[in-house]
């Protein structure tokens, strides 16, 4: 299940904050790409079966000025997103080893 999460910021991110954001999102195994919008006032995260709550938890560890987080999934789909890859994952992210 492909999804899109829009993240809005209180003010445009500077270069260092953008790097922190990218590294934080890259640490989520289900994220696929990030695009900057509105001149640094927002970002679009594309991924597979990644819930809004997981992104919020990851960004809570940073001091970035996050204003809003919206998902393209409905509320039901968003709640089930982390379990969408099957019972084997049990809600945890699956990590593919580098080189495979």
What is the tens place of the pLDDT at every residue in 10-41?
A: 999 999 999 999 999 998 888 899 999 988 89
- Locate all alpha helices (DSSP H) within 3-74, ordered by sequence: 15-26, 52-60
Round to whole Å and give the CA distance between 44 and 35.
5
43-69: burial string, b at 16+ Cβ within 10 Å, e else: bebebebbbbebbeebbeeeebebeee
Q: What is the pLDDT of residue 22?
A: 93
Q: What is the pLDDT of residue 6?
A: 93
Residue 96 carries which DSSP code?
Answer: P
Query: pTM of the full predicted structure?
Result: 0.75
Is residue 57 over pLDDT 60? Answer: yes
Whether the CB-CB separation of 55 and 69 falls below 8 Å is answered with yes
Round to whole Å and give the CA distance between 57 and 30.
14
Mean pLDDT in residue range 80-87: 56
Average pLDDT, the chain: 81
Question: What confidence tier does 98 reach under pLDDT thresholds 50, 70, 90?
Answer: low
């Amino acid at each position: 299940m492909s999804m899109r999460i829009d993240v809005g910021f209180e003010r445009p991110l500077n270069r260092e904050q953008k790097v922190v954001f990218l590294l934080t999102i890259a640490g989520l195994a289900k994220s696929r790409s990030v695009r900057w919008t509105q001149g640094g006032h927002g970002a679009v995260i594309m991924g597979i079966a990644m819930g809004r709550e997981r992104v919020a938890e990851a960004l809570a560890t940073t001091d970035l000025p996050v204003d809003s987080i919206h998902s393209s999934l409905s509320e039901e789909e968003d709640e089930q997103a982390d379990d969408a890859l099957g019972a084997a994952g049990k809600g945890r992210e699956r990590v593919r080893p580098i080189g495979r």
